[in-house]
Amino acid sequence: MQVKLIVDGGSMKPGPVISQQLGPLGINIGKVISDVNEATKSFQGIKVPIEIDVDAKTKTYKIKVFSPPVSELIKKELSIEKGSGDAGKFKSGNIAFERVVFIAKTKLQNLLAKDLKKAIKQVVGTCVSLGVLIDNKEAKLVEKEIDEGKYDKEIKEEITEPSAEKKKQLTEFFNVLKAKQEKEKKALEEAKAAEAAKAAATTVAPGTASTAQPTQPSPAKETAKEEKKEKKK
């Protein structure tokens, strides 16, 4: 029997859902949780889909771990909760190419890619949609440079860890960019608020379009009307 679950990587805990699915199978739930946590510890802090194949007769099981989506791995790498809301204008992070290689290697079996280079390009494509820079550059530019062979050494040698100096440079670059972006966002918000206030000031609410009093007919006109009515009679 196969049991499919989505667990917190490295920190699966007992719960009603787990008990309902595994309890009737007569296996040691505590041991299953321990084994799952060991199998998913590399995905600490993110949701991980798993499959537990249980043999009801022998009470044995096998655990299969499916890696999270590429976008989740990128966000975990950068310690961000979400990507950019405007990927073309604002950037959400700055990742080292070596870590792109690491993510591609992690996802290689699950991606529709024939080799590591193609898997890397898929990860780069996700960086584009999330608004993530790679090595201080636009992800689209890095994709082009991969085709030109600029990253052949890193790909061939499967280098997955950038140097400490490179990490520092990437962090410093993005901190400056982030501060600049915050100023731009603030300026945009203030401009929108000013525009909204201006529009509100020029829009007159229904029922208050005019304060002029309705014109009252003069006494002379009223007398003339009355005289006409009398003549008709």
Q: Please, what are the domains in the chain?
A: 2-65 (3.30.1550.10), 70-184 (1.10.10.250)
pLDDT above 90 for 97: yes
pTM, two decimal places: 0.66
pLDDT above 60 for 212: no
pLDDT value, residue 161: 94
Angle between helices 97-107 and 70-78 (to 10 degrees): 140
- CA–CA gap between residue 105 and residue 119 (Å, rounded): 8
Query: Is the Cβ–Cβ distance between 102 and 96 less than 8 Å?
Result: no
Classify burial at 77, counting beta carbons within 10 Å of its beta carbon; exposed 0-12, middle 13-18, buried 19 or more: middle
Q: Half-sphere exposure (CA, 13 Å, Cβ side) for 159? A: 13
Reduced to 3 states, what is the DSSP secondary structure of residue 68? coil
Q: How confident is the model at residue 156 (pLDDT cuts 50, 70, 90)?
A: very high
Instruction: Please report, rounded to a whole number, the percentage of residues in the chain having pLDDT higher than 90.
Output: 50
